[in-house]
Structure 1
C-alpha cells in the first residue's frame, strides 16, 4: 500500500495509531522488564529501570506507544486490609490520578505475573480497578506472563479468568510485542471505544462549547463577507459611473474643439481673435487633460482597492472553508464520543 509505514517485521503499520498501556503488578523488577519489552529496549532490557512514575513514550513496531508503570505497593496495601473495600477507598485518589495520566484513556491495563500460579493475589488489583472505574474496565484488561507457560493451564489462573481469558507470554522480541499490539487491537476492536475513558462527560461538554463557539465565529465571518461583497459592488458601481463621466466629458471637449476649428477655417477676418480663443481653449484643454489624468489615477486607485477586496474575499472564503473542516472534525468526534457513550451504557446495562 502506497505511503504505508513498515514495522521491523515487515508488516504495514499506521504511525498515527497511538497505544497507551497501564502496567500493574506487585513486582517492580517484573514490571520494569515488561515495560522494557513494550518500549523496545532490546539491548539492555534486564537493566532497564522505568524511573519516575509518569508515562514513557517510544516508537515501537511503527506505532507511537505510551507506557505508565503503577506503584507495586498497591498490591501489598490491598492485601493488608481485612475488609478489601476499605483498602480500595484509600487507593481511590491514586488510581484516579494514574488513570488520568494516560488521557484520553488507556487502550489496555496489563497485569504482570511471573507465572500462572495463583499465589500473590494479584487479582486484587483487577478487583480494585473494577471497584473504582466499574466492571467495564475489565473488558480492557489483559494478563502478561513473563515466564514460559508449560504444563499449567493459564485459563485456570484467577486473573486470566477476570480478564475473560486474555493473556500473553511476553518476551523481549519484536514478534512478541507486535503480538501484544495485535491482541490489544483485537480486544478493543469489538468495542465502541478503542480505549477506556473515565472522562466522556468532559468530552461532551468541551465539544458543545467548541461547537457553540464555532457557530458564533461562522456567523461573524458570514456578516463580514456580506459587508465585503457590498463594498466591492459599491466600488464597481462608482468605477463605472466615473468612467462614463470621463468619457462624456472628453467627448464634449472634442466636439467643442472641432467646432472652434471649423469657425477658424471659415472666418479669416477674426483669425487673431480666433487664435486667442484657441489658445484659451488649449489652456482649458490642458486643464481638462490634467483633470482626466486625475480621474485616471483615481480609477487606478479604485482598481487596486477592488483587487485588494477580492483578495480579502478569497481569504475569507478560505478561512470559512477551514472553519467548515474544523466543524466537520468536531461533528465526527461527537459521533465517535456518542458511539463510545452508547457502548459504555450498553456495557453498564449488561
Structure 2
C-alpha cells in the first residue's frame, strides 16, 4: 500500500497532455497502429457535461458508451450529438438520481466523467473508484474536509485513480509560469495570490427558459446551474470554488510534493450583491428579494505553507466586475 504522499507525488500533473488513463494509448504508438478505444461514460450531461461530450466525440481513441442524467431533454440532445458524429449509440441511464450506479456496473464503461451538481461529486467519484472505473470529476471535487479524505482513502483502498478536472491548470499562460517556476526564474518563492473573480450573477439567476440571465429565478423555478448552484450562496458563507486559483498555485508551490498547507484564515464581507441584482432586475416585490444570502460578496483567505510561503485567495462572484483570476507569483528574484 502506498502512502498518501507517494500517491500524490506519483499522480502529480505532468503537463497539459496527461491522460486520465495513460496506458491506453502509447506515446510511441505509430499512426498506422490500431488504437485501442477507451470506453467512457458521462454522468451528468448538462452544459458542462455536453461540452465534455463534444470534445470526446472528436477523438478516435475514445468511445462514449454510456450517458446518465435525470433530465430526459439533455439525454436526447446528447444522443443526437453522438448520432450526428457517426458514432455508435450509447447505453442510457435515466432512471433516477442513483441510476449512475447501474452505469458503473456496466462492462461497457472503463472510465467516467462526472459533471453533476457539486454535492454529488464526491459520492459519485467514490462509487466509481469502488467499481474499478477511473474517474474524472469536475470541480469542486469535494465540499468538506471529510469528503477530501473520502477520495484519498478510497483510492488507497481500491487502487483506482481519479483526476480533478481543474481546467485552469492547463491554460497556456499558467503552464508558461509553471515552467518559469520550475526553471527558478523567480528564485526562492515567497508569496502567491489567486482566486475566482468572476461576475456570476447571470449564472446564478435566469428566467427558467434560458441557462443564463433573463430573470431572477433560482432553485426549482430555474434551469441549469441556477437550479442548484445559487443555493450554496443562500446556505454557505464560504469560498465554495477555490480551485481555479488554488489548483495552479498548489502545483507551483509543490503542495503535497514536499510542501503542504499548514493553516488558513478566511474572512467574508457583507452580502449585498445578489439582493441588489434581484431588486434591479425583478423588482422589490419579487419573492426572491426577501431571500437572505449567507455568502459574503468578497471572501479572502490566507494560507500558510510548511516552507513559509503565504497564499491569498479571493472569491468575488456576486458583484459587477471584470473577469480575473488575480494570479501573482512572487519570489526572491521578482
Of Structure 1 and Structure 2, the greater strand share is in: 2
Which is higher, the Rg of structure 1 or of structure 2? Answer: 1
Of Structure 1 and Structure 2, the greater helix share is in: 1
Provide TM-score, normalisation by structure 2.
0.25
